[in-house]
Amino acid sequence: MPPLLRRLVVPALSAVLAVAVAVPATWYLATSRATGADPGPAVATGPSGPDELRAELRAQLPGEEVDGAVLAEVESGAEAETAVGLAPARYRVHLICGLLRRQGDRSAEVSFFLGTPDLSWRVVLPCPSTPLTMAQELDFTGDLAGAVSLLSEYTEARPAWFVLLLRFVPVAGP
């Protein structure tokens, strides 16, 4: 082989051989590292819009089919007090809290004040939550009508956007 041809062919063959070996090795390393890679934070599942969230929460609360059941809502960012009027009766209070779907959101707590003319409670519950029932029933049997007020308590631990639903269900019997 002439010296000029040797100077051109030898480096060209070396380069081709290096590429032929490097590409499969690189591909193997990339695929083996990808299978053991950390997938990152999981995407939370759940409703993507406020109306979808409200419908999902309503469906989970018990007592919808009971005559006289009253639904109240507290939404994050609601600065005004929510008032609910109830007919004379005893009521069981069911509540649930939900979040919109967001990546990286974790459970938080929502706190609010629930008050009647005679009593008040500070209620703290996880959000998102499953349906919960307050231990104490509200008794408006001696009153012409019952008034309940709901006021959000703003804390740093509360989630960015939540919906809290309360269903007041009349209790039959004495």
User: The pTM is what?
Assistant: 0.67
Range(s) of the domain holding residue 166: 50-171
d(CA 7, CA 142): 107
In angstroms, the CA 150 to CA 148 distance is 7
Is residue 30 within 8 Å of 69, Cβ to Cβ? no
| Total structural domains within the chain | 2
Do 78 and 156 belong to one domain?
yes
Same domain, 57 and 101: yes
Q: Distance between CA atoms of 123 and 121, rounded to whole angstroms?
A: 6
Q: Is the pLDDT of residue 170 over 90?
A: yes
101 and 142 assigned to the same domain? yes
Q: Does one domain contain both 82 and 161?
A: yes
Same domain, 86 and 146: yes
Same domain, 132 and 69: yes
pLDDT digits (tens, 9 = 90+) for 86-141: 998 999 999 999 887 664 556 788 888 899 888 888 998 888 899 999 999 998 88
